[in-house]
Amino acid sequence: MEPGGLEWLLVPMQQLVSWGAAGAMVFGGVVPYIPQYRDIRRTQNAEGFSTYVCLVLLVANILRILFWFGRHFESPLLWQSIIMIITMLLMLKLCTEVRVSNELNVKRRSFAAADSKDEEIKAPPKRSCLDFDLNYFWHWSKFTDYVQCVLTFTGVTGYITYLWLDSSLFVETLGFLAVFTEAMLGVPQLYRNHQNRSTEGMSIKMVLMWTSGDTFKTVYFILNQAPFQFSICGLLQVFVDIAILLQVYLYSHYPQKPVSHTAHPASTKAL
pTM of the model: 0.69
Contact 134, 127 (CB under 8 A): no
d(CA 185, CA 60) in angstroms, rounded, equals 9
Per-residue pLDDT tens, the chain, 271 aa: give them: 455 556 666 666 666 766 676 676 677 778 878 888 988 999 888 877 888 889 989 999 999 999 999 888 778 888 989 999 999 999 999 999 998 888 754 433 322 344 444 444 444 555 444 445 566 788 888 899 899 999 999 999 999 999 999 999 999 899 889 888 888 877 877 888 888 888 877 778 778 887 888 888 788 778 777 777 778 888 888 888 889 889 888 888 777 655 444 333 333 223 3
SS3 state of residue 183: helix
Q: What is the DSSP letter of 140?
A: -
SS3 state of residue 226: coil
Write the DSSP assignment of 97-136 as a string of letters. HHHHHHHHHHHHHHTTTS-HHHHHHHSPPP--GGG--GGG
d(CA 141, CA 99) in angstroms, rounded, equals 8
Q: What is the 3-state secondary structure (H, E, C) of 29-79?
A: CCCCHHHHHHHHHHHCCCCCCCCHHHHHHHHHHHHHHHHHHHCCCCHHHHH
Contacts of 216 (CB under 8 A, 6+ apart): 24, 28
